[in-house]
Amino acid sequence: MDAALDGVHAIFLVWPTLQADAAAPVVIQRFAAQVRHVVYLSAMGADERAGAVLGSHGYLERLIDETGVGRTFLRAGGFAGNDLGWANSIRTEGVVREYYHEWARSVVHERDIAAVGVAALLEGHIGAVHSVTGPEALTAPQRAQIIAGVLGRPVRFEKMSRAEMLVRMSSWMPADDVDRVLAGMDETTARPEPVLATVAEATGAPAHTYREWVTDHLAEFR
């Protein structure tokens, strides 16, 4: 880190959420001793009290704030890139499987997260909290149909059982957190994610649509 930070005055921080939280106090202190501005990729709803992923982001935000370093938090909504988890089943079966089939999410293209991050780094934005979303709220079945339209072949949606969802989440999340996260998601799915104009306001260009994101990743779905 000492060599990487030599001469650096601003950083864009993407943290290995949950996997490296024990190292966060030392790492954040080291950043703060060197740089003047940290742009941290957080998550919409970040709250240390929430536990699991949102709790981890809330924890990092607090550690950064406690250093007194200039900071900007990018609280992103759902990443469109998470839908690449469907790629294999789409290629092999023409199927998308999800549990929360009615949850409307304003998923955001990674290019837009990067663009807001660049604006924050180059223009200051110190002290700001930017909530970053895509331009439309879409359910998983709606996103599956957009993928089908871009692919030019059918993609059907299948609702997973809760047991299957538990198995999937346990593959990347500590088992003790899974039930609590699912309980929180049960509440969250009762309301769609907001659609915000942050990307346009920060960059001067509208957020990319989900269809544009699928087109950019078409090879992975084929």
| Residue pLDDT, tens place only, 78-104 | 999 999 999 999 999 999 999 888 889
pLDDT at 192 over 80: no
| pTM, 2 dp | 0.87
| Lowest-confidence segment of 114-118, 140-144, 168-172 by average pLDDT | 168-172
The answer to whether 133 and 197 have CB atoms below 8 angstroms apart is no
23-46: b (≥16 Cβ within 10 Å) or e: ebeeebeebbebbebbbbbbbbbb
pLDDT at 171 over 90: no
d(CA 202, CA 72): 13
Cα Rg of the chain, angstroms: 18
d(CA 204, CA 179): 41
pLDDT at 186 over 80: no
Q: Looking at residue 23, what DSSP letter applies?
A: G
The per-residue pLDDT for 177 is 73
The per-residue pLDDT for 17 is 86
